[in-house]
Amino acid sequence: MSEGLLLLAGGRVIRGRSIGVEGEAFGELVFTTSISGYEETLTDPSYNGQIVLFTYTHIGNYGAWTGELESERVWAEGVVVRDACSYPSNAKSRGTLRDFLREHGVVGIEGVDTRALTVAIREHGTIPAAMVCGDVGSVDLGGVRERLAAWRYEVDLVRETTCGRVEVLGKGRKTVALLDCGVKHGILRRLVDSGVTVLRFPAWASADEILSWGPDGVLVSNGPGDPAVLGYAVETVKRLIGRAPMMGVCLGHQLIALAMGCRTYKMKFGHRGTNHPVKDLKTGKIHITLQNHGYAVDPRSLEGKGLRVRQVSLNDGTIEGLEHEDLNLLSTQYHPEGKPGPSDGAGIFDEFLVML
């Protein structure tokens, strides 16, 4: 088995064993607390630009290609685990996690003290990292460090994950225009199964183009990266607000806030995993939610914008949902469809559909 290296900004080098393809990868090292759902996690476009560290000890126990993926490819730049299961137990599986990573051309390493790395990220924040797998003895590590030093968070990752043209999905009585910033298939399935027609637009689509289709509502999807660099999407959302009922999910939630004149900020280590508790201040209910985000809406910027906090994180008090006092407008920072994980908060989709 070939060797793998994880190089952290600052100079630290961690050795492990390669479980993916030979090659290099650069990205933001983040951790997720999900125990299962690794296939859905890795194919979630929101992980574009990130190296994913799984905190759970054993990953790959039930194999790969076991269910519905969240996109056509793996978006994570690389994968770090303590132990990758070599002998999965699942009648549906047709391969291992190693096979899955190799088929998708992704680097990965195992044999790493993921607990220590997680503690370091929690204490110091997410960090740029590089992965080198294969014949590491022949790699110019100095050159890798130079490229790592030049790596930046503040880039537009959405243009890589969005669709390239307008797509029509489903056949229902009502029509929802979906601004695709890197939408998960689970959201598309949830809408189509609810009996609506989904018009999937590229993230750079203009408000006029979207409105020309006459949608009954607008959904701004999840996606990767910093919302503050997506000026074109913010402008589109701003022009659509008030023209039709609107819902935002994850990055979409942040884009709506920016369009309303609020601010966002980068979190120290973000929220990623399937076990995040969220309280709905309107109903008093507590939901266990799927989350994947490294940015949040600044509550100090809400004053005078007509927005009120609907949901909050019980872990750190950050905003998890917004609604407008007068407009048909609501958003969630978490992923209400689950996929993977719980769908406790999926009722928010029903509220949106009622608005239509």
CB 186: neighbour CB atoms within 10 A?
A: 22
Of the candidates 26, 19, 53, 48, which has an alpha carbon nearest to the alpha carbon of residue 38?
53
Mean pLDDT to the nearest integer, 171-184 = 97
Q: Which of 28, 250, 271, 323 is catalytic?
A: 250
133 is catalytic: no
Is residue 1 over pLDDT 80?
A: no
Residue 250 appears among annotated catalytic residues: yes
Measured on CA atoms in the order 267, 268, 272, 274, is the torsion positive or negative? negative
Find the catalytic residue in 185, 253, 293, 335: 335
Residue 62 and residue 93 in contact, taking contact as beta carbons nearer than 8 Å: yes
**Span between the terminal Cα atoms of the chain, in Å:** 55
Active site residue 262: no
pTM confidence score: 0.96
Tokens coding 4: 């793998």
Q: What is the pLDDT of residues 27-58, one digit of tens each?
A: 999 999 999 999 999 999 999 999 999 999 99
Active-site residue identified among 24, 39, 77, 337: 337
Residue 67 binned pLDDT confidence (cut-offs 50, 70, 90): confident
Task: List domains and CATH numbers for the chain.
Answer: 3-150 (3.50.30.20), 158-355 (3.40.50.880)
- The predicted-structure confidence for 113-132, as pLDDT tens digits, reads as follows 999 999 999 999 999 999 99
Mean pLDDT is highest, among 59-68, 129-138, 326-335, for 326-335
Tell whether the model's pLDDT for residue 277 goes beyond 90. Answer: yes
Over residues 218-273, the pLDDT tens digits come to: 999 999 999 999 999 999 999 999 999 999 999 999 999 999 999 999 999 999 99
Inter-residue contact 219 to 200 (CB < 8 Å):
no
Q: In whole angstroms, what is the distance from residue 274 CA to residue 233 CA?
A: 28
pLDDT over 90 (residue 314): yes
pLDDT at residue 138 is higher than 90: no
Mean per-residue pLDDT, 93-115: 96
In whole angstroms, give the CA distance from residue 136 to residue 3: 7
What are the start-end ranges of the E strands in 186-263? Answer: 196-202, 217-220, 246-249
**What's the pLDDT at 68?**
80
